[in-house]
Amino acid sequence: MAKTNPGRFFEDYSIGQVIDHAVPRTVSGGERALYHALYPSRHALYSSDAFAQACGLPAAPIDDLAAFHVVFGKTVPDVSLNAVANLGYAEGRWLKPVYPGDTLRSSSEVIGLKQNSNGKTGVVYVRTRGMNQRDETVMEYCRWVMVRKHDLDAPAPETVLPDLKSVLAPEDLVIPEGLSFADYDFTLAGEPHRWGDYEVGETIDHVDGVTIEEAEHMMATRLWQNTAKVHFDATFRPDGQRLIYGGHVISMARALSFNGLANAQMIVGLNGGAHANPCFSGDTVKAWTEVLDKAETPAPGVGALRLRLVATKGGAPFELKGEDGKYLPGVLLDLDYWALIPT
Amino acid sequence: MAKTNPGRFFEDYSIGQVIDHAVPRTVSGGERALYHALYPSRHALYSSDAFAQACGLPAAPIDDLAAFHVVFGKTVPDVSLNAVANLGYAEGRWLKPVYPGDTLRSSSEVIGLKQNSNGKTGVVYVRTRGMNQRDETVMEYCRWVMVRKHDLDAPAPETVLPDLKSVLAPEDLVIPEGLSFADYDFTLAGEPHRWGDYEVGETIDHVDGVTIEEAEHMMATRLWQNTAKVHFDATFRPDGQRLIYGGHVISMARALSFNGLANAQMIVGLNGGAHANPCFSGDTVKAWTEVLDKAETPAPGVGALRLRLVATKGGAPFELKGEDGKYLPGVLLDLDYWALIPT
Amino acid sequence: MAKTNPGRFFEDYSIGQVIDHAVPRTVSGGERALYHALYPSRHALYSSDAFAQACGLPAAPIDDLAAFHVVFGKTVPDVSLNAVANLGYAEGRWLKPVYPGDTLRSSSEVIGLKQNSNGKTGVVYVRTRGMNQRDETVMEYCRWVMVRKHDLDAPAPETVLPDLKSVLAPEDLVIPEGLSFADYDFTLAGEPHRWGDYEVGETIDHVDGVTIEEAEHMMATRLWQNTAKVHFDATFRPDGQRLIYGGHVISMARALSFNGLANAQMIVGLNGGAHANPCFSGDTVKAWTEVLDKAETPAPGVGALRLRLVATKGGAPFELKGEDGKYLPGVLLDLDYWALIPT
């Protein structure tokens, strides 16, 4: 019996199947320090216990995207080891902040299946949940990937396409218990801009850039226990390049967006996302944002912004797609998320 | 008086000499996070407090090899600063798990000396112990290194060769107090294979590979306060290469072996080890294992496997030595250890 | 309204202006572990809780220079984003050790202004203070930078030059409450040399060298939330090189100085410092020290040394300036500080 994990193939998934992912992880100040060393992350709520407490939280949580990466990383050996492509995200929600000392595990339910017409691959839709040591769901998201078939003679499953929201409604968003921006300190946060200062359609060039290094993306990706060979083994791809984990680009772009969105503190919803082009070591990542929508929330002083966050490598700001409707070659990421910001 | 440490030379050692090594270190979640960022380490017992508690421990310990590196690193300025070669290890035992908050120091006793016939070098054998803040020995191991003489006229010491076990017997292994695999969660651990599923002689190709970066091996080696110039200073060797600390390869190979040995949770014995060839930045490290022996233990649900762990750079799996009995050029490491695994 | 931070220009500063800097930060064992992975830092007081407690402190503090970097990093967006050059430091004092769990913020007062004769730039002098969560000042220092004018027609301010001490007097130094070296363990600290063993005028070649990597200096600089583009974006400078944060060189040189100054445990005063030449990835940093002065202190067993710490890249030890009085091209750093050492 072969002992190593071959990963699941398309025919190994069935609707309703629940996969409990391996290797739970206790996070500490170590994960936080590493996150802040790997990304220029500066949102004050995640940097200072005192700032977080002034906003009604017990302490500074781990950055929302770090929590996402921990939950996501565990799914890789079960969901995307044989994936050809990561096709999309939807209905991502952060439900509970994650604090140092919390232990996270994750679980995925297969909610959609569609074999491709070529008979060699299919699309698998999963809804993944991350749970803490009290069995509270801390976040959840849907993701769909194209996965190879191993047994090409395996019968095609009945096609089931999940009914996923293209955008989370403001009432779908979960505000962390106790959160209040009523006494928000804009000076300590780093910028004066509040919810009312942002207009739908407004675009922001975040100006700063970071040139990507192999050691950094590998350390990040390993920290999330993401095991996909293509990120670590320079002999895996014919071109000798290590493909950078898409989540590394997400975190880099979000951190860069501090410059212009310092007060968009908490990510609470992920509406969708596309990894438009691959990222490699040596690329210089920059970011720009478009304000897509605004909403009020019931929490004191807390508003929500729906933001398009675009990461680029060499592309001009605010250019996204060509005349053919395809992403321009300099675009790395097109992410659609909801963030909380003081009103 | 010169203030910098010139290191000890062969004539500076004497049988029975005890060297208390400098710079004790308190470990925290920071060391754990860094270890998991530097190596694809995923054994659940070291990743999750909850998982460790379900196995009868108070919390997730620091990875066994991290504890080894902390203890080992302190010996470098006293034992191997003038070493020509690291010749071997024996009788390594992990006696107490190390937890965040523990403070480690180490001490070595000279247990063997043999001047080489060339009169220029000699072999020094030491038994090193690592102690925590309660003066409990957390691990011990023997190591022998070839060290230069400084004063070639110094008389050769009487040759003393220690009587070292080539393999620790199962009854030599120390099982951490309270450890039980009776309620072991194979799903959370990541693989279904238990003690009974492994056969003596079985070989496992761990499949995954990691291409080594300068920044990573230097960060790891510094974290263990290993000060050997050859790892850090590109102007030190004539070829301009930084030689990678052998322990970096040990940790990388052990972490890669998760894929096929996810349940071989705890390292409790080190029978021997050879750094067969040097490793440099750019090498892609892979690993394979051969099951050498099996043993029962008195702890509930806990068995032991004796494993040969081989790290390679480009070599085919399961090839170790040439017809001349020498390690093949693609072999980096040949390690012989005992691990605990659920029965 | 542009949302991103353009930084302040020379005409934006006025005497007596107080700038509260953004993004407070809670430090943990994670920051300590990373500091010890990024620099070969081995002073026992900062490595071991037990050693620090034996010296009268409640636990091992964060390395003094790490505290400095955290305080300094916050000032970059407000003070040096449009700086042409970092001209000098003075009157730096460490007033309270910083421990894991502390939250730091910083604030600067403008204490000097002088427009340059070219009318395009001016020199800004600030006194920066770092405060913990109890509003205690943990450190303070003066720094002056040359800053561009944005509006060349803005009138020149009245010239105010602060009266800064060229050297802190021993009585200016603040000894941490409770510190005692009466029971100092020289073996655990790593060297036998005490205050009385160092003579004014003595020079020490610290021997070891470290070749600098992009990933390491970027991780360090990000960890301190220093946002200057020139450190991260390879497309920013015409030559495609990322300029290394001067503080990275300071920390590297200080850590290297352990070899010969292992007992110069605590930095309590910064008299001055010059970044003599830029440092880039691939440079091999070495360090040497000259003992400039000695002083007694009222604390038990605690003496002070005033040290010149010089970092080089390729320069011979003990060579500093050429016949023209300018720093030699191989000199990176010339730092003048006070350290505490057992008598």
Closest partner residue to C25 among A28, A34, A48, by Cβ?
A48
CATH of A1-27+62-164, one of 3.40.50.300, 3.10.129.10, 3.30.499.10, 3.30.1330.20: 3.10.129.10
Domains C9-27+62-150 and C189-343 share a fold: yes
- Residue at token pair 């991780």: C219
| Residue to test with chain A: of C3, C212, C218, C235, most A Cβ within 10 A | C3
pLDDT at A316: 87
In this structure, the number of other CB atoms found within 10 A of the CB of residue C326 comes to: 10
For C10-21, how does the pLDDT look when each residue is reduced to its tens digit (9 = 90+)?
Answer: 999 999 999 999
Query: DSSP letters of B52-110?
Result: HHHTT-SSPPPPHHHHHHHHHHHHIIIIITTEEEEEEEEEEEE-S---TT-EEEEEEEE
In this structure, the number of other CB atoms found within 10 A of the CB of residue C119 comes to: 12
Cβ-based contacts of C214 with chain B (< 8 Å): 215
Closest partner residue to A105 among B38, B188, B209, by Cβ?
B188
Pick left, alpha or beta for residue A72 (phi over 0 → left; psi -120 to 50 → alpha; otherwise beta): alpha
Burial of C17 (C-beta count, 10 Å sphere; 0-12/13-18/19+):
middle
Residues paired with A217 in a beta bridge: none
Quick one: CA torsion of C309, C313, C319, C320, rounded to 10 degrees? -60
Query: DSSP letters of A283-334?
Result: -EEEEEEEEEEEEE-SSTTEEEEEEEEEEEESPPTT--B-TTSSBPTTEEEE
Closest partner residue to C29 among A30, A216, A259, by Cβ?
A30
Q: What is the mean pLDDT of chain C?
A: 96
Span C106-133, average pLDDT: 97
Cβ–Cβ pairs < 8 A, chains B and C: 134
pLDDT at B243: 95
Buried b (16+ CB within 10 A) or exposed e, A9-47: bbbbbeeeeebebbbbbbbbbbbbbbbbbbbbbbbbbbb
Q: Does the pLDDT value for residue C215 go beyond 90? A: yes
Closest partner residue to A103 among B48, B208, B211, by Cβ?
B48
- State how far the Cα of A217 lies from the Cα of A250, in Å rounded to an integer: 12
Q: To the nearest whole angstrom, how far is the Cα of C278 from the nearest Cα of chain A? A: 19
Which stretches of B149-276 are assigned E, i.e. beta strand? 203-205, 210-211, 266-275
Closest to C91 measured CA to CA, from C170, C166, C171, C17: C166
- Residue at token pair 């934006």: C12
Closest to B155 measured CA to CA, from B7, B11, B8, B9: B11
| Residue to test with chain B: of C27, C47, C313, most B Cβ within 10 A | C47
Cβ–Cβ pairs < 8 A, chains A and C: 134
CATH number of B17-342: 3.10.129.10
Contact between chains at B28 and A25 (C-beta distance less than 8 A): no
Q: To the nearest whole angstrom, how far is the Cα of A271 from the nearest Cα of chain C? A: 24
Single-letter amino acid, residue C235: T
- At the topology level of CATH, where does C189-343 sit? Thiol Ester Dehydrase; Chain A (3.10.129)
Contact between chains at C233 and A210 (C-beta distance less than 8 A): yes
Pick left, alpha or beta for residue B55 (phi over 0 → left; psi -120 to 50 → alpha; otherwise beta): alpha
Buried b (16+ CB within 10 A) or exposed e, C81-93: bbbeebebbbbbb
DSSP state of B323: T
* Secondary structure (3-state) at A205: strand
Closest partner residue to C232 among A187, A211, A261, by Cβ?
A211
Q: What is the mean pLDDT of chain B?
A: 96
Span B302-324, average pLDDT: 95
Contact between chains at B235 and C39 (C-beta distance less than 8 A): no
Contacts (Cβ under 8 Å, ≥6 apart) of C305:
C195, C198, C264, C291, C293, C294, C338, C339, C341
Alpha-carbon distances of A256 from A226, A310, B284, C85, rounded to whole Å = 23, 11, 32, 24
Contact between chains at B232 and C40 (C-beta distance less than 8 A): yes
Contact between chains at A215 and B210 (C-beta distance less than 8 A): no
Phi, psi of A316 (to 5 degrees): -75, 150
Taking the CA of residue B268 as centre, how many other CA atoms within 13 Å lie in the half-sphere pointing to its CB? 27
Burial of C163 (C-beta count, 10 Å sphere; 0-12/13-18/19+):
exposed
Residues paired with A93 in a beta bridge: A140, A269
- Work out the pLDDT band at C85, boundaries 50, 70, 90: confident
Cα torsion B190, B194, B197, B202: sign: positive
Chains that touch C (3 or more CB pairs under 8 A): A, B
Residues paired with C275 in a beta bridge: C333
Per-residue pLDDT of chain A (343 residues; tens, 9 = 90+): 589 988 899 999 999 999 999 999 999 999 999 999 999 999 999 999 999 999 999 999 999 999 999 999 999 999 988 888 889 999 999 999 999 999 999 999 999 999 999 999 999 999 999 999 999 999 999 999 999 999 999 999 999 999 999 999 999 999 999 999 999 999 999 999 999 999 999 999 999 999 999 999 999 999 999 988 899 999 999 999 999 999 999 999 999 999 999 999 999 999 999 999 999 999 999 999 999 999 999 999 999 999 999 999 987 899 999 999 999 999 999 999 999 999 9
Cα torsion B17, B22, B28, B32: sign: negative
| Residue to test with chain A: of B27, B199, B213, B307, most A Cβ within 10 A | B213
pLDDT at C1: 52
Query: DSSP letters of C54-119?
Result: HTT-SSPPPPHHHHHHHHHHHHIIIIITTEEEEEEEEEEEE-S---TT-EEEEEEEEEEEEE-TTS
Closest partner residue to B24 among C40, C44, C209, by Cβ?
C44
- Residue at token pair 């604090």: A99
Contact between chains at B193 and A26 (C-beta distance less than 8 A): no
Span C163-172, average pLDDT: 98
* Secondary structure (3-state) at B139: strand
For A252-310, how does the pLDDT look when each residue is reduced to its tens digit (9 = 90+)?
Answer: 999 999 999 999 999 999 999 999 999 999 999 999 999 999 999 999 999 999 999 99
B interface with C, Cβ–Cβ < 8 A, is 1, 3-5, 20, 22-26, 28-31, 33-34, 77, 100-101, 103, 105, 133, 213-216, 218-220, 222-223, 225, 227, 229, 232-236, 242
- State how far the Cα of C68 lies from the Cα of C63, in Å rounded to an integer: 9
- State how far the Cα of C147 lies from the Cα of A55, in Å rounded to an integer: 36
Q: To the nearest whole angstrom, how far is the Cα of A291 from the nearest Cα of chain B? A: 34
Closest chain C CA to residue B105: C188
DSSP state of C245: P
Buried b (16+ CB within 10 A) or exposed e, C270-305: bbbbbbbbebebebbbbbbbbbbbbeebebbbbbbb
Closest chain C CA to residue A35: C223
- Work out the pLDDT band at C83, boundaries 50, 70, 90: confident
Contact between chains at C4 and A204 (C-beta distance less than 8 A): yes
Closest chain A CA to residue B285: A233
| Residue to test with chain C: of A38, A46, A48, most C Cβ within 10 A | A48
- Work out the pLDDT band at C5, boundaries 50, 70, 90: confident
Closest to C269 measured CA to CA, from C341, C168, C188: C168
Closest to B116 measured CA to CA, from B156, B76, B144: B156
- Residue at token pair 């990421």: A333
Q: To the nearest whole angstrom, how far is the Cα of B8 from the nearest Cα of chain C? A: 14
| Residue to test with chain B: of C216, C252, C265, C309, most B Cβ within 10 A | C216
Cβ-based contacts of B216 with chain A (< 8 Å): 215, 218-219
Closest partner residue to A222 among B31, B37, B60, by Cβ?
B37
The structural domains of chain A, with segments of one domain joined by +, span 1-27+62-164, 181-343
Closest to A41 measured CA to CA, from B219, C35, C227, C216: C227
Closest chain C CA to residue A289: C3
- Work out the pLDDT band at B83, boundaries 50, 70, 90: confident
In this structure, the number of other CB atoms found within 10 A of the CB of residue A200 comes to: 11
Alpha-carbon distances of C125 from C86, C177, C269, C339, rounded to whole Å = 11, 30, 18, 25
Contact between chains at B210 and A233 (C-beta distance less than 8 A): yes
Closest to B343 measured CA to CA, from B297, B291, B308: B297
- At the topology level of CATH, where does C9-27+62-150 sit? Thiol Ester Dehydrase; Chain A (3.10.129)
Span B24-47, average pLDDT: 98
For C226-267, how does the pLDDT look when each residue is reduced to its tens digit (9 = 90+)?
Answer: 988 899 999 999 999 999 999 999 999 999 999 999 999 999
CB C38 within 8 A of CB C244: no
Closest chain B CA to residue A73: B42
Q: To the nearest whole angstrom, how far is the Cα of A195 from the nearest Cα of chain B? A: 36
Closest to C26 measured CA to CA, from A67, A41, A45, A266: A45
Closest chain A CA to residue B211: A233
Closest partner residue to B26 among C39, C48, C284, by Cβ?
C48
pLDDT at B1: 52
Cβ-based contacts of A214 with chain C (< 8 Å): 215
| Residue to test with chain A: of C26, C28, C31, C227, most A Cβ within 10 A | C26
Closest to C94 measured CA to CA, from C74, C75, C66, C73: C66
Q: To the nearest whole angstrom, how far is the Cα of A174 from the nearest Cα of chain B? A: 27
Contact between chains at B48 and A223 (C-beta distance less than 8 A): no
Cβ–Cβ pairs < 8 A, chains A and B: 133
CATH of A181-343, one of 3.30.450.20, 3.50.50.60, 3.30.110.30, 3.10.129.10: 3.10.129.10
Question: Long-range contact list for C245-249, CB < 8 A, 24+ apart?
Answer: C245/C217, C245/C220, C245/C221, C246/C86, C246/C275, C246/C279, C246/C333, C247/C65, C247/C68, C247/C69, C247/C72, C247/C220, C247/C221, C248/C212, C248/C217, C248/C220, C248/C221, C248/C279, C249/C275, C249/C279, C249/C285, C249/C311, C249/C332, C249/C333
DSSP state of B315: P
- Work out the pLDDT band at B263, boundaries 50, 70, 90: very high
Closest partner residue to A60 among C26, C33, C214, by Cβ?
C26
Phi, psi of C49 (to 5 degrees): -60, -40
